[in-house]
Amino acid sequence: MQTAERAAHELLSTATAKGQVTIPVEVRRLLGLAAHDQVVFVVEDDQVRIVPRTGGVVARTAGALKGPEPVRSAEGLRTLAEEALAEDVRERSGG
Q: Where are the alpha helices (DSSP H) in 18-92?
A: 25-31, 56-61, 74-92
pLDDT class of 3 with cuts at 50, 70, 90: low
pLDDT at position 56: 58
Average pLDDT over residues 2-10: 71
The answer, as to whether pTM is greater than 0.85, is no
pLDDT tens profile 40-86: 999 999 999 999 987 655 655 666 666 777 777 888 888 888 888 88
DSSP-derived 3-state class of residue 22: coil
DSSP-derived 3-state class of residue 76: helix
Whose CA is closest to 61, among 28, 37, 30?
Answer: 37
pLDDT class of 91 with cuts at 50, 70, 90: confident
- The chain-wide mean pLDDT, for the chain, equals 83
